[in-house]
A and B are shown apart, each in its own frame.
Chain A
């Protein structure tokens, strides 16, 4: 896949109400799911490429919309449980239906999304509107037949995995065995079997006996893409632990521990906050993990624990603004990061609706902006640049002009093609590279 500097502004969906809180392609890239703060899931489907217009790539259209989670109230603790969808993860497709997991702070649900394009007609006991017929009027017997109908996509909740998390769920990850998955909250990770909803197996528990001694929490967790016994979880202290479920039932003791020594010259009041890892992702190959903290993205080799092999500065110009960012809570923003299909390019978001891509091979990077004002449909995205001091050039934007309310926290990359989905507040942008 070629370097990704030429992205064509493609298509944008604007949701009138809610902020998008998660974005995820399925394993083929045919479907793209988004979850929002209002608990809704919207699934886009790529239309089939028409044979007439080979040069025109398939566009994504809304395929299904459903309410996944509703706000709840825990009366025992007097706590409201937000309906915001924290994560969506697809299961690999095994039949005609699609399955995905969606989770809010407390409950994971397995949804089945299936198509219905036929309906039975000719019932004996019911009329065409479904009203019961008077049995006395039935004089003949017929076999109902299936007739075509307008395509209907329905989503049904097939499993609800509830009451297993005391703290807020931040991650879910489907295992490569396709039989189990894990859910992680601030202090615990549970292993589930898809078929069993009334029990889960606790595999990580970092809750101290005395909560006063709490020093770190789990921030993200993911299964290895190929080894069903291996998973990683990241912490608020900037560390990553790799665990092997074969070693023991409770994986409190890690197999590997990834941590980079702190740079003492960068010490500040906010050092701990900015070292907290907000996302961890295995590469598709399973050889590397990528972590995102507030200012950087790091790539780690699983075979080297003492430091990352690559570090990319996302927006280092914010380092001198940490106090202000602490005040307005931006320092707590949890940015995600993604690999492209070949693990050669990584992408993550920033402020002002900027997002960044880093090519690991050429070491080139680019800053792009997701905004309608700056992009006409089918136009090539122009690289952006933040001016950090001195004379500002014409197309540059100064650090002080950045809009910190426009943050790109969630992005997704098509598993095999250069198509990216970028969530900018309540807008979804889909970009793909230019086809000549």
Chain B
């Protein structure tokens, strides 16, 4: 449970780093982005495989089933430094995972971080999605991709074709004050109003958004229903709708503003993520084409065909389903 939350947090942080790398001086650093994407994949794996059935029962309106293990008052005794320790068995789901098991996966073998990880993992998760929410997901996914191509001609960011994002909303969370003195990572917009801490008190805030994420079909049916109508009109509409969706679920001790921002983060970060390498978004092999030498400037520019999703489309999709589909 906690590891799912930590995994979620790492996912947010990682996405923030990928975003920030785009605006860094000197261009995108391939090495660092590759490492971040590997962490992202690990965290996503944990996030998807964490066996908490209660969290999966989100209704279409976004009201999550009360998570059984939620303990807002949980003491911060769990060391934030526990991150460096080996994750528990639940996190060690084998890399080529075909389905998230409702029970804990056994720690039968050490996960092998090998060459097959990127492709296999993606395929595995893809298979999962296929098996469980095939139609809606596919429909959502293709809807995302089409507007991307349509939006190809639009706003060109520094890395080429990334599109425009609301400023300041793509923060990785501010690092906690423990144990490293609480310095903001360079480049992280310090816009988040709350102090995100890796200590335990956070779970209360994170619970509600988590449940819908893993059940895209249920959310998607509601969120994506407006899809066709929401197909890209070159966009001036900000992402208000998804945020409103997520204000609804009740949760003890939740900080609405921060959560709002976080959702917006993820929804927007998907667009960046859409063109990332390592097959993180590989549903169909069509995206990875040979690029000429002259076009190479890093992973993002290597797939200029996959431009970010247009905002109006994202608006109509539940951001968590978007996130999980993207992942």
Q: How far is the CB of A168 from chain B (nearest CB, A)?
A: 7
> Which residues of chain B (263-280) have a CB below 8 Å from chain A?
277-279
A74 to B159, CA, bound (A): 12
Q: How far is the CB of A210 from chain B (nearest CB, A)?
A: 4
Q: How far is the CB of B20 from chain A (nearest CB, A)?
A: 9
Q: A178 within 8 Å of B by Cβ? A: no
Across the interface, do B277 and A212 meet the contact criterion of CB distance under 8 Å? yes
Q: Which partner residue on chain A sits nearest B110 by CB separation?
A: A264
Q: A217 within 8 Å of B by Cβ? A: yes
Which residue from A214, A269, A322, A327 sits with its C-beta under 8 Å from B185? A327
Q: How far is the CB of B141 from chain A (nearest CB, A)?
A: 16
Across the interface, do A81 and B183 meet the contact criterion of CB distance under 8 Å? no
A76 to B39, CA, bound (A): 31
A319 to B180, CA, bound (A): 13
> Which residues of chain A (160-177) have a CB below 8 Å from chain B?
166-168, 170
Stretch at the interface among A11-19, A115-123, A271-279, A359-367: A271-279
Q: A270 within 8 Å of B by Cβ? A: yes
- Which residues of chain B have C-beta atoms less than 8 A from A84's C-beta? 26
A66 to B123, CA, bound (A): 53
Which residue from A168, A268, A272, A324 sits with its C-beta under 8 Å from B85? A268
Instruction: Tell me whether A214 and B299 are in contact in the complex, defined as CB-CB below 8 angstroms, given that A168-B30, A219-B31, A326-B10 are known contacts.
Output: yes
Across the interface, do B279 and A272 meet the contact criterion of CB distance under 8 Å? no
A268 to B299, CA, bound (A): 25
Q: B35 within 8 Å of A by Cβ? A: yes
Q: B181 within 8 Å of A by Cβ? A: yes
Which residue from A76, A170, A187 sits with its C-beta under 8 Å from B294? A76
A215 to B144, CA, bound (A): 26
A195 to B104, CA, bound (A): 63
Q: B176 within 8 Å of A by Cβ? A: yes
Which residue from B27, B160, B291 sits with its C-beta under 8 Å from A81? B27
Per-residue contact bits, chain B 63-86, to A (CB 8 Å; 1 contact, 0 not): 000000000000000011111111
Q: A209 within 8 Å of B by Cβ? A: yes
Instruction: Tell me whether A322 and B30 are in contact in the complex, defined as CB-CB below 8 angstroms, given that A211-B303, A212-B279, A329-B185 are known contacts.
Output: no
Across the interface, do B118 and A215 meet the contact criterion of CB distance under 8 Å? yes
Across the interface, do B35 and A267 meet the contact criterion of CB distance under 8 Å? no
Q: A228 within 8 Å of B by Cβ? A: no
- Which residues of chain A have C-beta atoms less than 8 A from B29's C-beta? 168
- Which residues of chain B have C-beta atoms less than 8 A from A105's C-beta? 26-27
Which residue from A215, A219, A270, A321 sits with its C-beta under 8 Å from B117? A215
Which residue from A78, A167, A329 sits with its C-beta under 8 Å from B186? A329
Across the interface, do A262 and B84 meet the contact criterion of CB distance under 8 Å? no
- Which residues of chain B have C-beta atoms less than 8 A from A76's C-beta? 294
> Which residues of chain B (143-163) have a CB below 8 Å from chain A?
156, 158-160
A246 to B302, CA, bound (A): 33
Stretch at the interface among B128-136, B225-233, B237-245, B282-290: B282-290
Q: A417 within 8 Å of B by Cβ? A: no
Q: Which partner residue on chain B sits nearest A399 by CB separation?
A: B179
Q: Which partner residue on chain A sits nearest B173 by CB separation?
A: A327
Q: Which partner residue on chain B sits nearest A238 by CB separation?
A: B113
- Which residues of chain B have C-beta atoms less than 8 A from A139's C-beta? none
Q: A95 within 8 Å of B by Cβ? A: no
- Which residues of chain A have C-beta atoms less than 8 A from B293's C-beta? 166
Across the interface, do B87 and A269 meet the contact criterion of CB distance under 8 Å? yes
A266 to B175, CA, bound (A): 24
- Which residues of chain A have C-beta atoms less than 8 A from B111's C-beta? 267
Across the interface, do B26 and A214 meet the contact criterion of CB distance under 8 Å? no
Across the interface, do B301 and A77 meet the contact criterion of CB distance under 8 Å? yes
Instruction: Tell me whether A328 and B175 are in contact in the complex, defined as CB-CB below 8 angstroms, given that A209-B290, A262-B113, A323-B198 are known contacts.
Output: yes
Instruction: Tell me whether A405 and B183 are in contact in the complex, defined as CB-CB below 8 angstroms, given that A213-B119, A236-B34, A321-B84 are known contacts.
Output: yes
> Which residues of chain A (256-295) have a CB below 8 Å from chain B?
262, 264-273, 276
Q: A42 within 8 Å of B by Cβ? A: no
Per-residue contact bits, chain A 399-429, to B (CB 8 Å; 1 contact, 0 not): 1100111000000000000000000000000
- Which residues of chain A have C-beta atoms less than 8 A from B185's C-beta? 327-329
> Which residues of chain B (42-56) have a CB below 8 Å from chain A?
42-43, 46
Which residue from A212, A236, A399 sits with its C-beta under 8 Å from B31? A236
Across the interface, do B278 and A268 meet the contact criterion of CB distance under 8 Å? no
Q: Which partner residue on chain B sits nearest A404 by CB separation?
A: B180
- Which residues of chain A have C-beta atoms less than 8 A from B42's C-beta? 269, 272
Question: 10 smallest A-B Cβ distances: which pairs?
Answer: A323-B83, A264-B110, A82-B26, A210-B288, A322-B84, A320-B81, A79-B27, A320-B84, A211-B302, A327-B175
Binding site for B on A (CB under 8 A): 74, 76-82, 84, 105, 166-168, 170, 186-187, 209-217, 219, 236-237, 262, 264-273, 276, 318-330, 332, 399-400, 403-405
User: 14 new A-B pairs (CB below 8 Å) besides A167-B298, A273-B38?
Assistant: A78-B158, A81-B27, A82-B25, A105-B27, A167-B30, A168-B31, A213-B279, A215-B118, A216-B34, A267-B111, A320-B82, A323-B6, A323-B10, A324-B175
Binding site for A on B (CB under 8 A): 6-7, 10, 13, 17, 25-27, 29-32, 34-35, 38-39, 42-43, 46, 79-87, 92, 110-111, 113, 115, 117-119, 156, 158-160, 172-173, 175-176, 178-181, 183-186, 198, 277-279, 282, 287-288, 290-291, 293-294, 296-299, 301-303
